[in-house]
Structure formats: structure tokens, C-alpha cells
Amino acid sequence: MNQRNSVDRRERFLRRYDYDDETVIAADLNAADEDVTVDTVDGTAIVVIGRDGDRDNEEFEFELPGPAASVDIENGVLTIGISA
């Protein structure tokens, strides 16, 4: 397994774990699960944090190493699985 870390300008940690059969991207969003919306389009993840109609919604995106096979949010941690 290989692990890579990066930090975006909002101080959110993204971690990438490369396994033989998949890659997993994990991001600690520090937000309530119900306040997070994630869309994946081709090789891009688009994350919106905030409540519907809230003017202070935060949005960011990041590139994925391929199309997402799974997306999960639990306890403020986003995990995206990409099949090899």
C-alpha cells in the first residue's frame, strides 16, 4: 500500500491509499454528514459543505485517478473508492 497526503488551502487533509485492486481517497471534512453533498463526474469529485439555502456553503473539487466506484461519508470523513 502506498499513501500520499496533501492539504488544500482550507486545511482539509486528503489522503490517497493505493492498493493492488483499488485506490481510496479519504478526506476529513470536519462537517456533519447531512451537510455534505458529493458528486463525481468522470475523474473529478465536487464537494459542497453546508445546508440547503445557506449562503456560506463551501465548495471545492479535486481530481480522482479514475471514475468513482463508491462514495461514502461517515462521521465527517469522505471516502471515495476507485477500482483499478
- Name the pTM for this structure: 0.81
DSSP 65: S
Q: Mean of the per-residue pLDDT values for the chain?
A: 86
Q: Which amino acid is at 60?
A: F
Instruction: List, for residues 33-58, the tens digit of each pLDDT value.
Output: 999 999 999 899 999 998 766 778 88
Number of domains present in the structure of the chain: 1
CATH number at residue 37: 2.60.40.790
List C-alpha distances in Å: 48 to 21, 22, 56, 63, 81: 29, 25, 10, 15, 19
Q: What is the DSSP string of 37-50?
A: EEEEETTEEEEEES
Full residue range of the structural domain in which residue 41 is found:
2-83
Check if the beta carbon of residue 60 is closer than 8 Å to that of residue 47: yes
**Over pLDDT 70: what percentage of the chain?**
82
